Amino acid sequence: MKVSVLKNGPLKVDGAIALVQDGAVLPLPGPAVFLCRCGASAKKPFCDGAHARIGFKDESATADA
């Protein structure tokens, strides 16, 4: 499994076998899973693109600004 932090976006998880939330196993949407980091997704724990709409900036982007 590989986890990547996407700048100003979600965590990308490649090769996940299963995700568990509140004791329930979640169906994986595909071979790569994108997990919300901004807190604005309506489909948590998955990213739904809301980070772009709210202008989410991670710390590395803030440091560069």
Q: Which is nearer to ligand FES, 33 or 41 (CB)?
A: 41
* Nearest distance from C-beta of residue 51 to ligand FES, angstroms: 4
* Nearest distance from C-beta of residue 22 to ligand FES, angstroms: 19
Q: Which is nearer to ligand FES, 23 or 55 (CB)?
A: 55
How do 11-14 and 24-26 pair as beta strands?
unpaired
Residues lying near ligand FES in the complex (CB under 6 A) are found at: 9-10, 36-38, 40-41, 47-51
Q: Rg of the Cα trace of the chain?
A: 13
Q: Tell me how far apart the alpha carbons of residues 18 and 58 are, in angstroms, rounded to a whole number.
A: 26
Q: Tell me how far apart the alpha carbons of residues 65 and 61 are, in angstroms, rounded to a whole number.
A: 6
